[in-house]
Structure 1
Protein backbone atom coordinates (compact mmCIF):
# COMPACT_ATOMS: atom_id res chain seq x y z
CA UNK A 1 0.00 0.00 0.00
CA UNK A 2 1.38 3.41 -1.02
CA UNK A 3 -1.10 5.68 0.79
CA UNK A 4 -4.56 5.59 2.34
CA UNK A 5 -6.73 8.71 2.43
CA UNK A 6 -10.41 9.46 2.65
CA UNK A 7 -13.29 7.06 3.05
CA UNK A 8 -13.76 5.58 -0.42
CA UNK A 9 -12.20 5.20 -3.85
CA UNK A 10 -13.84 4.99 -7.25
CA UNK A 11 -12.13 6.33 -10.42
CA UNK A 12 -8.31 6.40 -10.62
CA UNK A 13 -6.58 8.48 -13.33
CA UNK A 14 -3.00 9.46 -14.19
CA UNK A 15 -2.56 13.23 -14.60
CA UNK A 16 0.28 13.42 -17.11
CA UNK A 17 0.55 17.22 -16.82
CA UNK A 18 1.09 17.29 -13.05
CA UNK A 19 2.68 13.81 -12.97
CA UNK A 20 0.40 12.39 -10.29
CA UNK A 21 -2.49 10.00 -9.80
CA UNK A 22 -5.87 11.58 -9.05
CA UNK A 23 -9.08 10.09 -7.72
CA UNK A 24 -12.35 11.36 -6.21
CA UNK A 25 -13.72 10.16 -2.88
CA UNK A 26 -17.51 10.13 -3.35
CA UNK A 27 -18.20 9.62 0.35
CA UNK A 28 -15.94 12.36 1.72
CA UNK A 29 -16.48 14.75 -1.25
CA UNK A 30 -12.73 15.06 -1.81
CA UNK A 31 -10.42 14.98 -4.83
CA UNK A 32 -7.02 13.47 -4.03
CA UNK A 33 -3.62 13.54 -5.75
CA UNK A 34 -0.58 11.31 -5.15
CA UNK A 35 2.17 12.29 -5.04
CA UNK A 36 0.90 15.80 -4.35
CA UNK A 37 2.10 18.34 -6.97
CA UNK A 38 4.67 20.82 -5.60
CA UNK A 39 3.22 23.43 -3.20
CA UNK A 40 -0.25 21.91 -3.49
CA UNK A 41 -2.30 19.85 -0.99
CA UNK A 42 -2.87 16.14 -1.55
CA UNK A 43 -6.62 16.61 -1.17
CA UNK A 44 -9.15 19.32 -1.93
CA UNK A 45 -12.76 19.39 -0.78
CA UNK A 46 -15.53 19.44 -3.38
CA UNK A 47 -18.88 21.12 -2.90
CA UNK A 48 -20.53 18.08 -4.57
CA UNK A 49 -19.57 14.41 -4.53
CA UNK A 50 -18.04 12.96 -7.69
CA UNK A 51 -17.52 9.34 -8.72
CA UNK A 52 -16.11 9.81 -12.24
CA UNK A 53 -13.28 12.06 -13.45
CA UNK A 54 -11.00 12.72 -16.41
CA UNK A 55 -8.21 15.26 -16.96
CA UNK A 56 -8.62 18.04 -19.53
CA UNK A 57 -6.32 19.66 -22.09
CA UNK A 58 -6.59 22.99 -20.21
CA UNK A 59 -5.39 21.49 -16.93
CA UNK A 60 -8.89 21.41 -15.49
CA UNK A 61 -10.78 18.27 -14.43
CA UNK A 62 -14.09 17.01 -15.80
CA UNK A 63 -16.25 15.39 -13.11
CA UNK A 64 -19.35 13.22 -13.07
CA UNK A 65 -21.52 14.76 -10.33
CA UNK A 66 -24.57 12.54 -9.93
CA UNK A 67 -26.70 13.47 -12.94
CA UNK A 68 -24.48 16.33 -14.08
CA UNK A 69 -21.15 16.89 -15.77
CA UNK A 70 -19.06 19.66 -14.21
CA UNK A 71 -15.75 21.35 -15.02
CA UNK A 72 -13.43 21.96 -12.08
CA UNK A 73 -10.62 24.53 -11.96
CA UNK A 74 -7.85 23.12 -9.77
CA UNK A 75 -6.14 25.49 -7.31
CA UNK A 76 -2.78 26.96 -8.28
CA UNK A 77 0.32 26.49 -6.10
CA UNK A 78 0.21 28.81 -3.10
CA UNK A 79 -3.50 29.54 -3.32
CA UNK A 80 -5.45 29.17 -0.05
CA UNK A 81 -7.23 25.85 0.38
CA UNK A 82 -10.99 26.20 -0.04
CA UNK A 83 -14.00 24.12 -1.04
CA UNK A 84 -14.14 23.90 -4.82
CA UNK A 85 -17.30 24.18 -6.89
CA UNK A 86 -17.49 22.74 -10.40
CA UNK A 87 -19.07 24.67 -13.26
CA UNK A 88 -22.06 22.62 -14.40
CA UNK A 89 -21.95 21.85 -18.12
CA UNK A 90 -25.00 19.65 -18.69
CA UNK A 91 -27.60 17.57 -16.87
CA UNK A 92 -27.95 13.99 -18.11
CA UNK A 93 -31.42 12.48 -18.62
CA UNK A 94 -33.04 15.31 -16.68
CA UNK A 95 -36.55 13.83 -16.89
CA UNK A 96 -35.51 10.55 -15.22
CA UNK A 97 -34.75 11.05 -11.49
CA UNK A 98 -33.56 7.47 -11.00
CA UNK A 99 -30.38 7.65 -13.08
CA UNK A 100 -26.88 8.93 -12.26
CA UNK A 101 -23.47 8.82 -13.97
CA UNK A 102 -21.69 5.59 -13.00
CA UNK A 103 -18.56 5.22 -15.17
CA UNK A 104 -16.67 7.02 -17.90
CA UNK A 105 -13.36 7.79 -19.63
CA UNK A 106 -12.07 9.65 -22.66
CA UNK A 107 -11.91 7.94 -26.04
CA UNK A 108 -8.71 8.25 -28.07
CA UNK A 109 -10.02 11.45 -29.71
CA UNK A 110 -10.51 13.30 -26.41
CA UNK A 111 -14.30 12.89 -26.16
CA UNK A 112 -15.81 11.86 -22.83
CA UNK A 113 -17.66 8.54 -23.08
CA UNK A 114 -19.72 7.60 -20.06
CA UNK A 115 -22.75 5.69 -18.85
CA UNK A 116 -25.50 5.94 -16.28
CA UNK A 117 -27.01 3.63 -13.67
CA UNK A 118 -30.42 3.09 -12.16
CA UNK A 119 -29.99 4.18 -8.54
CA UNK A 120 -33.50 3.13 -7.47
CA UNK A 121 -34.35 -0.21 -5.86
CA UNK A 122 -36.38 -1.42 -8.84
CA UNK A 123 -33.10 -2.14 -10.73
CA UNK A 124 -34.74 -1.78 -14.13
CA UNK A 125 -32.37 -1.40 -17.10
CA UNK A 126 -32.79 2.33 -17.76
CA UNK A 127 -29.10 3.31 -17.89
CA UNK A 128 -27.54 4.48 -21.16
CA UNK A 129 -24.15 5.20 -22.75
CA UNK A 130 -23.21 8.64 -24.09
CA UNK A 131 -20.45 10.62 -25.77
CA UNK A 132 -19.92 14.23 -24.71
CA UNK A 133 -17.67 16.82 -26.37
CA UNK A 134 -17.41 20.60 -26.57
CA UNK A 135 -17.74 20.30 -30.33
CA UNK A 136 -20.82 18.08 -30.64
CA UNK A 137 -22.42 18.26 -27.20
CA UNK A 138 -24.17 15.17 -25.84
CA UNK A 139 -24.79 12.20 -28.15
CA UNK A 140 -26.33 8.92 -27.01
CA UNK A 141 -24.60 5.75 -28.18
CA UNK A 142 -26.86 3.11 -29.71
CA UNK A 143 -26.10 0.45 -27.10
CA UNK A 144 -28.59 -1.61 -25.06
CA UNK A 145 -30.05 -0.14 -21.88
CA UNK A 146 -28.33 -1.32 -18.70
CA UNK A 147 -28.93 -1.35 -14.96
CA UNK A 148 -25.47 0.10 -14.30
CA UNK A 149 -23.00 1.13 -16.99
CA UNK A 150 -19.45 -0.02 -16.17
CA UNK A 151 -16.08 -1.13 -17.59
CA UNK A 152 -15.91 1.54 -20.32
CA UNK A 153 -12.51 1.29 -22.06
CA UNK A 154 -11.01 1.58 -25.54
CA UNK A 155 -8.53 -0.43 -27.58
CA UNK A 156 -5.12 1.21 -28.11
CA UNK A 157 -6.15 2.46 -31.58
CA UNK A 158 -9.57 3.60 -30.37
CA UNK A 159 -11.57 1.51 -32.85
CA UNK A 160 -13.02 -0.89 -30.24
CA UNK A 161 -15.03 -0.04 -27.13
CA UNK A 162 -15.33 -2.32 -24.10
CA UNK A 163 -18.33 -1.91 -21.81
CA UNK A 164 -20.58 -3.83 -19.45
CA UNK A 165 -23.71 -3.84 -17.38
CA UNK A 166 -22.37 -4.31 -13.84
CA UNK A 167 -25.26 -6.67 -13.05
CA UNK A 168 -24.68 -8.97 -16.02
CA UNK A 169 -22.04 -11.66 -16.37
CA UNK A 170 -20.03 -10.53 -19.36
CA UNK A 171 -17.82 -7.84 -20.84
CA UNK A 172 -19.04 -6.60 -24.22
CA UNK A 173 -17.16 -5.19 -27.21
CA UNK A 174 -18.22 -3.13 -30.21
CA UNK A 175 -16.74 -1.16 -33.09
CA UNK A 176 -16.57 2.54 -32.27
CA UNK A 177 -16.48 5.61 -34.52
CA UNK A 178 -15.50 8.62 -32.37
CA UNK A 179 -16.23 11.29 -34.99
CA UNK A 180 -19.80 10.15 -35.63
CA UNK A 181 -20.47 8.69 -32.16
CA UNK A 182 -21.52 5.46 -33.87
CA UNK A 183 -21.23 1.89 -32.57
CA UNK A 184 -21.72 -1.40 -34.40
CA UNK A 185 -20.84 -5.08 -34.32
CA UNK A 186 -21.63 -5.61 -30.65
CA UNK A 187 -20.52 -8.98 -29.29
CA UNK A 188 -19.33 -10.65 -26.08
CA UNK A 189 -15.66 -9.97 -25.31
CA UNK A 190 -15.45 -12.38 -22.38
CA UNK A 191 -17.39 -13.72 -19.42
CA UNK A 192 -16.72 -12.17 -16.04
CA UNK A 193 -14.58 -14.18 -13.63
CA UNK A 194 -16.26 -12.54 -10.61
CA UNK A 195 -19.77 -11.10 -10.30
CA UNK A 196 -20.01 -7.31 -10.60
CA UNK A 197 -18.14 -5.41 -13.33
CA UNK A 198 -16.28 -2.24 -12.35
CA UNK A 199 -13.58 -0.11 -13.97
CA UNK A 200 -11.55 -1.29 -16.97
CA UNK A 201 -8.51 -0.11 -18.95
CA UNK A 202 -6.46 -1.39 -21.89
CA UNK A 203 -2.68 -1.71 -22.04
CA UNK A 204 -0.45 -1.15 -25.08
CA UNK A 205 -0.81 -4.79 -26.20
CA UNK A 206 -4.58 -4.62 -26.17
CA UNK A 207 -4.96 -6.60 -22.95
CA UNK A 208 -7.93 -5.54 -20.81
CA UNK A 209 -7.56 -4.99 -17.06
CA UNK A 210 -10.97 -5.33 -15.45
CA UNK A 211 -12.09 -4.75 -11.87
CA UNK A 212 -14.85 -7.21 -11.04
CA UNK A 213 -16.20 -8.46 -7.75
CA UNK A 214 -13.45 -6.51 -5.94
CA UNK A 215 -10.66 -8.34 -7.80
CA UNK A 216 -8.47 -7.32 -10.75
CA UNK A 217 -8.59 -9.59 -13.81
CA UNK A 218 -6.31 -9.32 -16.85
CA UNK A 219 -7.69 -10.54 -20.18
CA UNK A 220 -5.75 -11.05 -23.38
CA UNK A 221 -6.86 -9.12 -26.46
CA UNK A 222 -8.90 -12.14 -27.58
CA UNK A 223 -10.77 -12.34 -24.27
CA UNK A 224 -8.80 -15.12 -22.57
CA UNK A 225 -8.11 -14.77 -18.82
CA UNK A 226 -4.39 -14.20 -18.15
CA UNK A 227 -4.30 -13.52 -14.41
CA UNK A 228 -6.40 -12.60 -11.39
CA UNK A 229 -5.19 -10.36 -8.53
CA UNK A 230 -6.90 -9.63 -5.20
CA UNK A 231 -5.98 -7.05 -2.57
CA UNK A 232 -5.44 -8.41 0.92
CA UNK A 233 -6.99 -5.48 2.81
CA UNK A 234 -9.93 -4.26 0.72
CA UNK A 235 -11.80 -4.72 -2.52
CA UNK A 236 -10.35 -3.15 -5.66
CA UNK A 237 -12.33 -0.22 -7.08
CA UNK A 238 -10.27 1.10 -10.01
CA UNK A 239 -6.97 0.69 -11.85
CA UNK A 240 -4.68 2.94 -13.92
CA UNK A 241 -1.28 2.99 -15.60
CA UNK A 242 0.99 5.96 -14.93
CA UNK A 243 4.48 7.04 -14.00
CA UNK A 244 7.48 7.25 -16.32
CA UNK A 245 6.67 5.60 -19.63
CA UNK A 246 3.28 4.51 -18.25
CA UNK A 247 5.00 1.43 -16.84
CA UNK A 248 3.47 1.52 -13.35
CA UNK A 249 0.11 -0.10 -12.69
CA UNK A 250 -1.69 1.08 -9.53
CA UNK A 251 -4.90 -0.21 -7.98
CA UNK A 252 -7.28 1.96 -5.96
CA UNK A 253 -9.09 0.23 -3.14
CA UNK A 254 -12.76 0.77 -2.33
CA UNK A 255 -11.83 2.18 1.10
CA UNK A 256 -9.26 4.69 -0.18
CA UNK A 257 -6.04 2.68 -0.24
CA UNK A 258 -3.68 3.09 -3.21
CA UNK A 259 -1.62 0.01 -4.08
CA UNK A 260 1.27 -0.90 -6.37
CA UNK A 261 1.82 -4.42 -7.68
CA UNK A 262 4.61 -6.47 -6.08
CA UNK A 263 7.69 -6.92 -8.30
CA UNK A 264 6.89 -10.54 -9.22
CA UNK A 265 3.59 -9.38 -10.75
CA UNK A 266 4.74 -6.01 -12.12
CA UNK A 267 7.81 -7.24 -14.02
CA UNK A 268 7.20 -7.88 -17.69
CA UNK A 269 3.82 -6.18 -17.94
CA UNK A 270 3.01 -4.24 -21.08
CA UNK A 271 3.03 -0.49 -20.52
CA UNK A 272 -0.18 1.48 -20.41
CA UNK A 273 -1.82 3.65 -23.04
CA UNK A 274 -1.97 7.38 -22.30
CA UNK A 275 -5.42 8.73 -21.53
CA UNK A 276 -6.43 11.28 -24.11
CA UNK A 277 -7.11 14.55 -22.34
CA UNK A 278 -10.68 15.77 -22.65
CA UNK A 279 -10.64 18.42 -25.36
CA UNK A 280 -12.22 21.35 -23.52
CA UNK A 281 -11.04 23.97 -26.03
CA UNK A 282 -14.09 23.39 -28.21
CA UNK A 283 -12.04 23.66 -31.41
CA UNK A 284 -11.76 20.66 -33.71
CA UNK A 285 -11.45 17.01 -32.81
CA UNK A 286 -7.70 16.53 -32.78
CA UNK A 287 -6.74 13.85 -30.21
CA UNK A 288 -4.96 15.33 -27.21
CA UNK A 289 -2.85 12.99 -25.08
CA UNK A 290 0.36 13.25 -23.09
CA UNK A 291 2.54 10.50 -21.70
Structure 2
Protein backbone atom coordinates (compact mmCIF):
# COMPACT_ATOMS: atom_id res chain seq x y z
CA UNK A 1 0.00 0.00 0.00
CA UNK A 2 1.44 3.34 -1.08
CA UNK A 3 1.19 5.95 1.67
CA UNK A 4 0.90 9.71 1.26
CA UNK A 5 1.80 12.10 4.05
CA UNK A 6 0.05 15.39 4.74
CA UNK A 7 2.11 17.78 6.82
CA UNK A 8 0.26 20.01 9.29
CA UNK A 9 1.70 23.48 8.80
CA UNK A 10 5.38 24.45 8.79
CA UNK A 11 5.93 24.20 12.56
CA UNK A 12 8.64 21.84 13.85
CA UNK A 13 8.13 20.41 17.34
CA UNK A 14 11.15 20.00 19.57
CA UNK A 15 9.46 17.00 21.19
CA UNK A 16 6.04 16.45 19.63
CA UNK A 17 3.86 14.06 21.64
CA UNK A 18 0.44 12.89 22.84
CA UNK A 19 -1.86 13.30 19.82
CA UNK A 20 -5.51 12.58 20.58
CA UNK A 21 -8.73 12.98 18.60
CA UNK A 22 -11.64 14.71 20.33
CA UNK A 23 -14.87 13.26 18.94
CA UNK A 24 -16.94 15.98 20.61
CA UNK A 25 -14.93 18.78 18.99
CA UNK A 26 -13.95 16.97 15.78
CA UNK A 27 -10.44 18.23 16.40
CA UNK A 28 -6.95 16.94 17.09
CA UNK A 29 -4.83 17.91 20.10
CA UNK A 30 -1.11 17.28 20.65
CA UNK A 31 1.81 18.88 22.48
CA UNK A 32 5.38 20.04 22.04
CA UNK A 33 6.77 19.11 25.44
CA UNK A 34 9.94 21.23 25.52
CA UNK A 35 8.23 24.28 24.01
CA UNK A 36 5.38 24.02 26.60
CA UNK A 37 2.95 24.24 23.68
CA UNK A 38 -0.49 22.70 23.20
CA UNK A 39 -1.64 22.39 19.59
CA UNK A 40 -5.17 21.99 18.25
CA UNK A 41 -6.23 21.26 14.65
CA UNK A 42 -9.86 21.80 13.64
CA UNK A 43 -10.62 19.04 11.14
CA UNK A 44 -13.40 20.93 9.35
CA UNK A 45 -11.49 24.18 8.79
CA UNK A 46 -7.88 22.96 8.81
CA UNK A 47 -7.00 25.79 11.21
CA UNK A 48 -4.21 25.01 13.70
CA UNK A 49 -4.07 26.97 16.97
CA UNK A 50 -1.67 26.84 19.89
CA UNK A 51 -1.38 27.82 23.54
CA UNK A 52 1.68 28.18 25.79
CA UNK A 53 1.45 26.58 29.26
CA UNK A 54 3.30 27.62 32.39
CA UNK A 55 5.43 24.45 32.36
CA UNK A 56 6.08 21.47 30.10
CA UNK A 57 2.98 19.51 29.10
CA UNK A 58 3.87 15.90 28.34
CA UNK A 59 0.45 14.30 27.76
CA UNK A 60 -3.19 15.26 27.59
CA UNK A 61 -6.73 13.99 27.13
CA UNK A 62 -10.00 15.85 26.52
CA UNK A 63 -12.37 16.15 29.46
CA UNK A 64 -16.04 15.26 29.06
CA UNK A 65 -16.93 18.54 30.78
CA UNK A 66 -14.65 20.57 28.48
CA UNK A 67 -10.98 21.48 28.61
CA UNK A 68 -8.11 19.05 29.10
CA UNK A 69 -6.52 16.86 31.73
CA UNK A 70 -2.73 16.91 31.44
CA UNK A 71 0.45 15.42 32.89
CA UNK A 72 3.07 18.14 33.47
CA UNK A 73 6.26 18.82 35.42
CA UNK A 74 4.69 19.43 38.82
CA UNK A 75 1.65 17.16 38.65
CA UNK A 76 -1.60 16.41 36.92
CA UNK A 77 -3.59 19.47 35.87
CA UNK A 78 -6.97 20.51 34.53
CA UNK A 79 -6.43 23.10 31.79
CA UNK A 80 -8.88 25.50 30.16
CA UNK A 81 -7.67 26.96 26.86
CA UNK A 82 -8.93 30.50 26.54
CA UNK A 83 -9.29 33.02 23.72
CA UNK A 84 -6.12 34.93 22.98
CA UNK A 85 -3.81 32.12 23.97
CA UNK A 86 -4.25 32.18 27.74
CA UNK A 87 -4.21 28.90 29.68
CA UNK A 88 -6.06 28.47 32.99
CA UNK A 89 -4.20 25.93 35.15
CA UNK A 90 -5.67 23.97 38.07
CA UNK A 91 -3.50 21.32 39.69
CA UNK A 92 -5.33 18.11 40.52
CA UNK A 93 -2.61 15.93 42.06
CA UNK A 94 1.13 15.74 42.66
CA UNK A 95 3.01 12.51 43.43
CA UNK A 96 5.60 12.84 46.17
CA UNK A 97 8.54 11.95 43.89
CA UNK A 98 7.94 14.79 41.41
CA UNK A 99 10.96 16.84 42.37
CA UNK A 100 13.74 18.48 40.39
CA UNK A 101 14.42 16.75 37.09
CA UNK A 102 11.16 14.76 37.07
CA UNK A 103 7.93 15.12 35.09
CA UNK A 104 5.02 13.12 33.82
CA UNK A 105 5.44 11.51 30.39
CA UNK A 106 2.99 9.41 28.37
CA UNK A 107 -0.69 9.28 29.38
CA UNK A 108 -4.24 8.53 28.24
CA UNK A 109 -7.70 7.57 29.51
CA UNK A 110 -8.93 4.02 29.87
CA UNK A 111 -12.24 3.02 28.23
CA UNK A 112 -14.10 4.09 31.38
CA UNK A 113 -12.64 7.63 31.41
CA UNK A 114 -9.98 7.31 34.11
CA UNK A 115 -6.68 9.05 33.33
CA UNK A 116 -3.42 7.06 33.42
CA UNK A 117 0.08 8.51 33.26
CA UNK A 118 3.61 7.77 34.42
CA UNK A 119 6.56 9.77 35.68
CA UNK A 120 10.17 9.82 34.51
CA UNK A 121 13.55 11.36 35.24
CA UNK A 122 14.12 13.71 32.31
CA UNK A 123 17.86 13.12 31.87
CA UNK A 124 17.66 9.79 30.06
CA UNK A 125 21.45 9.45 30.07
CA UNK A 126 21.34 9.13 33.86
CA UNK A 127 19.14 6.00 33.49
CA UNK A 128 17.44 6.46 36.85
CA UNK A 129 14.58 3.96 37.36
CA UNK A 130 12.49 6.53 39.26
CA UNK A 131 9.38 6.35 37.09
CA UNK A 132 6.01 5.15 38.38
CA UNK A 133 2.62 4.57 36.77
CA UNK A 134 -0.52 6.14 38.29
CA UNK A 135 -4.27 6.26 37.78
CA UNK A 136 -6.35 9.39 38.42
CA UNK A 137 -10.12 9.57 38.72
CA UNK A 138 -12.46 12.31 39.89
CA UNK A 139 -13.93 9.99 42.51
CA UNK A 140 -10.73 8.58 44.01
CA UNK A 141 -8.06 11.11 43.09
CA UNK A 142 -4.50 9.88 42.56
CA UNK A 143 -3.91 6.16 43.04
CA UNK A 144 -0.97 4.34 44.50
CA UNK A 145 1.81 3.53 42.02
CA UNK A 146 0.79 0.41 40.09
CA UNK A 147 4.14 -0.05 38.31
CA UNK A 148 7.52 1.17 39.58
CA UNK A 149 11.19 1.11 38.52
CA UNK A 150 10.44 2.62 35.08
CA UNK A 151 13.17 4.45 33.17
CA UNK A 152 11.07 6.10 30.44
CA UNK A 153 7.37 5.27 30.81
CA UNK A 154 5.57 5.15 27.48
CA UNK A 155 3.20 3.30 25.15
CA UNK A 156 -0.02 3.33 27.21
CA UNK A 157 -3.00 1.85 25.35
CA UNK A 158 -6.16 -0.14 26.05
CA UNK A 159 -7.73 -2.94 23.99
CA UNK A 160 -11.11 -2.25 22.37
CA UNK A 161 -12.96 -4.03 25.19
CA UNK A 162 -10.76 -2.29 27.77
CA UNK A 163 -9.70 -5.56 29.38
CA UNK A 164 -6.03 -5.40 28.33
CA UNK A 165 -3.69 -2.53 29.21
CA UNK A 166 -0.39 -1.97 27.39
CA UNK A 167 2.66 -0.15 28.74
CA UNK A 168 6.19 0.28 27.44
CA UNK A 169 9.56 1.51 28.63
CA UNK A 170 11.25 3.24 25.71
CA UNK A 171 14.63 3.78 27.34
CA UNK A 172 17.51 2.23 25.32
CA UNK A 173 18.28 -0.04 28.28
CA UNK A 174 14.73 -1.46 28.35
CA UNK A 175 12.83 -1.30 25.02
CA UNK A 176 9.99 -3.56 26.09
CA UNK A 177 6.21 -3.51 25.82
CA UNK A 178 4.11 -5.26 28.49
CA UNK A 179 0.49 -6.33 28.60
CA UNK A 180 -1.69 -6.50 31.72
CA UNK A 181 -5.10 -7.94 32.51
CA UNK A 182 -7.30 -4.94 33.30
CA UNK A 183 -10.30 -4.95 35.63
CA UNK A 184 -12.59 -2.40 33.99
CA UNK A 185 -14.77 -2.11 37.12
CA UNK A 186 -12.01 -1.15 39.53
CA UNK A 187 -9.41 0.17 37.08
CA UNK A 188 -6.81 -2.28 38.36
CA UNK A 189 -4.09 -3.88 36.17
CA UNK A 190 -2.65 -7.28 37.04
CA UNK A 191 -0.74 -10.16 35.47
CA UNK A 192 2.07 -8.10 33.93
CA UNK A 193 3.70 -10.05 31.09
CA UNK A 194 6.03 -9.35 28.18
CA UNK A 195 4.08 -8.47 25.03
CA UNK A 196 6.93 -7.45 22.69
CA UNK A 197 10.69 -7.29 23.21
CA UNK A 198 11.42 -4.34 20.93
CA UNK A 199 15.15 -5.05 20.92
CA UNK A 200 14.30 -7.57 18.19
CA UNK A 201 12.60 -4.93 16.01
CA UNK A 202 13.44 -1.55 14.46
CA UNK A 203 13.32 1.49 16.70
CA UNK A 204 12.59 2.07 20.37
CA UNK A 205 8.94 1.70 21.48
CA UNK A 206 7.43 5.17 21.90
CA UNK A 207 3.78 6.26 21.90
CA UNK A 208 1.11 3.87 20.67
CA UNK A 209 -2.47 3.47 19.46
CA UNK A 210 -5.01 0.64 19.19
CA UNK A 211 -7.06 -0.12 16.07
CA UNK A 212 -10.54 -1.64 15.82
CA UNK A 213 -9.03 -5.12 15.42
CA UNK A 214 -7.21 -4.75 18.74
CA UNK A 215 -3.79 -4.38 17.12
CA UNK A 216 -1.12 -2.27 18.82
CA UNK A 217 0.50 0.43 16.62
CA UNK A 218 3.75 1.68 18.14
CA UNK A 219 6.15 4.34 16.87
CA UNK A 220 9.65 3.01 16.24
CA UNK A 221 11.62 5.99 17.48
CA UNK A 222 15.08 6.34 15.85
CA UNK A 223 14.06 4.10 12.94
CA UNK A 224 11.39 6.18 11.18
CA UNK A 225 8.55 3.68 11.30
CA UNK A 226 5.32 2.54 12.92
CA UNK A 227 4.96 -1.15 13.73
CA UNK A 228 1.62 -2.93 14.11
CA UNK A 229 1.48 -5.93 16.43
CA UNK A 230 -1.50 -8.27 16.59
CA UNK A 231 -3.04 -9.03 20.02
CA UNK A 232 -0.86 -12.13 20.27
CA UNK A 233 2.32 -10.04 19.85
CA UNK A 234 3.02 -10.85 16.19
CA UNK A 235 4.37 -8.11 13.89
CA UNK A 236 2.19 -7.92 10.78
CA UNK A 237 2.78 -4.42 9.34
CA UNK A 238 5.47 -1.78 9.13
CA UNK A 239 4.80 1.78 7.95
CA UNK A 240 7.86 3.65 6.72
CA UNK A 241 7.71 7.35 7.68
CA UNK A 242 9.60 10.39 6.38
CA UNK A 243 10.92 11.35 9.84
CA UNK A 244 13.55 9.44 11.81
CA UNK A 245 12.03 10.01 15.25
CA UNK A 246 8.26 9.49 15.23
CA UNK A 247 7.07 9.78 18.82
CA UNK A 248 3.36 8.87 18.97
CA UNK A 249 0.44 8.09 16.68
CA UNK A 250 -3.31 8.37 17.23
CA UNK A 251 -6.34 7.39 15.18
CA UNK A 252 -8.90 10.07 14.44
CA UNK A 253 -10.69 12.06 11.80
CA UNK A 254 -14.44 11.75 11.09
CA UNK A 255 -14.04 8.12 10.03
CA UNK A 256 -11.34 7.26 12.60
CA UNK A 257 -9.26 6.11 9.62
CA UNK A 258 -6.43 8.65 9.85
CA UNK A 259 -3.28 8.54 11.95
CA UNK A 260 -1.85 11.77 13.29
CA UNK A 261 1.86 11.21 13.94
CA UNK A 262 4.07 13.53 15.99
CA UNK A 263 7.87 13.59 15.87
CA UNK A 264 11.01 15.00 17.47
CA UNK A 265 13.49 17.50 16.06
CA UNK A 266 15.80 17.58 19.10
CA UNK A 267 19.17 16.11 18.17
CA UNK A 268 18.26 15.88 14.48
CA UNK A 269 19.83 17.58 11.45
CA UNK A 270 18.34 21.12 11.29
CA UNK A 271 18.28 20.78 7.50
CA UNK A 272 15.95 17.76 7.67
CA UNK A 273 12.53 19.19 6.72
CA UNK A 274 10.65 16.30 8.36
CA UNK A 275 12.35 16.38 11.76
CA UNK A 276 9.73 17.58 14.26
CA UNK A 277 6.94 17.56 11.68
CA UNK A 278 3.38 16.56 12.52
CA UNK A 279 1.72 14.54 9.77
CA UNK A 280 -1.53 12.84 8.80
CA UNK A 281 -1.56 9.49 7.03
CA UNK A 282 -4.26 6.96 6.12
CA UNK A 283 -2.87 3.49 6.86
CA UNK A 284 -5.84 1.43 5.66
CA UNK A 285 -7.14 0.69 9.16
CA UNK A 286 -9.61 2.28 11.57
CA UNK A 287 -9.16 3.13 15.21
CA UNK A 288 -11.22 3.30 18.37
CA UNK A 289 -12.69 6.57 19.64
CA UNK A 290 -10.81 7.60 22.78
CA UNK A 291 -12.93 8.01 25.91
CA UNK A 292 -12.70 11.52 27.40
CA UNK A 293 -11.87 12.00 31.07
CA UNK A 294 -15.06 11.66 33.09
CA UNK A 295 -15.73 13.59 36.27
TM-score, length-scaled by structure 1 = 0.85
Aligned-residue CA RMSD in angstroms? 2.2
Q: Does 1:275 align with 2:290?
A: yes
CA distance in 1, matches of 2:99, 2:24: 37
Q: 5 Å matches for 1:212-291?
A: 212-214=220-222, 215-255=225-265, 256-261=276-281, 266-267=283-284, 269=285, 271-279=286-294, 281=295
How far apart are residue 94 of structure 1 and its match? Answer: 4.2
1:85 to 80, 88, 93: 88
How far apart are residue 135 of structure 1 and its match? Answer: 0.5
Q: Secondary structure at the match of 1:11?
A: strand
How many equivalent pairs are there? 271
**Which residue is equivalent to 1:131?**
135
CA distance in 1, matches of 2:73, 2:30: 16
Alpha carbons of 1:189 and 1:233: their partners in 2 closer, same or farther (altered >3 Å)?
Answer: closer
Question: What does the per-residue CA deviation read over 1:139-187, in whole Å, with 9 as the maximum and x for residues that have no partner?
Answer: 1343342111111111111111100121213211011124434222111
How far apart are residue 246 of structure 1 and its match? Answer: 1.0
How far apart are residue 259 of structure 1 and its match? Answer: 1.6
**Which residue is equivalent to 2:79?**
72
CA distance in 2, matches of 1:154, 1:179: 14
How far apart are residue 103 of structure 1 and its match? Answer: 0.8
CA distance in 1, matches of 2:98, 2:278: 37
Q: Does 1:211 align with 2:219?
A: yes
Moved more, 116-125 or 52-61: 116-125
Alpha carbons of 1:33 and 1:226: their partners in 2 closer, same or farther (altered >3 Å)?
Answer: same
Runs of 5+ consecutive residues of structure 2 not aligned to the other structure: 1-5, 266-275
1:50 to 39, 52, 57: 57
**Which residue is equivalent to 1:10?**
17
Moved more, 224-233 or 152-161: 224-233
Alpha carbons of 1:232 and 1:28: their partners in 2 closer, same or farther (altered >3 Å)?
Answer: same
Question: What does the per-residue CA deviation read over 1:11-60, in whole Å, with 9 as the maximum and x for residues that have no partner?
Answer: 11111121111111123222111137779861222222211111100121
Q: 5 Å matches for 1:20-35?
A: 20-35=27-42
TM-score, length-scaled by structure 2 = 0.84
- Does the aligned pair in 2 maintain the 1:141–1:182 contact within 8 Å? no
**Which residue is equivalent to 1:180?**
186
How far apart are residue 260 of structure 1 and its match? Answer: 2.5
Q: Which has the higher strand share?
A: 2
- Does the aligned pair in 2 maintain the 1:141–1:181 contact within 8 Å? no
How far apart are residue 257 of structure 1 and its match? Answer: 1.8
Give runs of ≥4 in structure 1 deviating > 4 Å. Answer: 36-41
**Which residue is equivalent to 1:200?**
208
